[in-house]
Structure 1
């Protein structure tokens, strides 16, 4: 009986204190959130840098500065912001955990990243005839349209169909057609196509296209 009273008293105390505990947790969470508003600028001329990516390190979220270099993001105290932009060095900034308040202004200065390319020496042709000969024999690579046109030509598709195995859809279709033919002629002998002129025309056309050539080139003459 005494244990039951103690249990009920414990539940009553927890029930009475739960609003205060929940309020304390909400206050702690609210105090750990901070809104960062700032601007990204060049370190030498204090010029605004647009389109700077600001990513919260270790998390899949962030923002981008606008055309005036201004940005705003909500983070937790202690998070690290990663600044990156084309033509500038990467920069990290850690939000101080002990910072007071829920808003903070930041001016992030970024240093330009200079990239040195290898030297390129341009020399003219010795004569006009040499230039015309080199221009006529120049190997110009195919563009995307020409590559697509060659890959979808009828001759190339027929050659690929001879060596590529059937996919799942083609195999299922062939099996269903075979089953349908076997059921269509169930109980009677199937017709012979030896006297069918249409079958002979299809056979001659397939022979011209090379459909009956050996597909496995691994067999050579010994």
Structure 2
């Protein structure tokens, strides 16, 4: 009987161990297709659009409207499952006896309530309500920055005396005055438009400022409307370049002035007519 060669026995054992390790490694690296069902912990209802990701690769899928998902994984993978209104969990995949026929898993998520700050919701109303409220809103008083630095009459008189004491001779003063006239900034010439352009400008202004607009803003009609309209024309200098908001704001301001003393306003209009200085937008 032949004795076994020790070298042959060692080679056979090494081959068997190598094949066993390769088989185990192949079984660990082979992908498995699993399916599952995402449910709420309390209601046991399916959770739609739940996010299921593989922790190892950060890749995943989203559950459908029935809460079902399908995913390709490796054995011993861990799934990270999250959804709006539920606590996020890490779910290790259980050992699967037969990878060809994996079980249908059911995974439950606990409800999570996030308290929100109280919010008051108010109705804005219609656009016409907003427009009327915006036009009638009073502007805040303008703060004059120089009010805190205003000098008294005594202080002004003292400063005037000091200036007179330091006044240069007449020759120097004359040169200073001449220099101020020479280097005085010239006024920019005002543009001159043709009659056709002026007519277009007048039409643009009449669309922004007319009796109908004054009636809508003040509610006046008849003779009172004419007096209010004349008073506004006398105390305003609207141009076609003014925006509707500025014009309507000025109309309301002048209307309030008129209501404070209508007799005084009408008397000033009579004096204006006697001098034949009727504003252009009142002429027929």
TM class, shorter-chain normalised? 0.3 to 0.5
RCO comparison, higher one (Cα < 8 Å, 6+): 1
TM-score (norm 1): 0.43
- Relative to its length, the structure with more helix (as a share) is 2
- Relative to its length, the structure with more strand (as a share) is 1
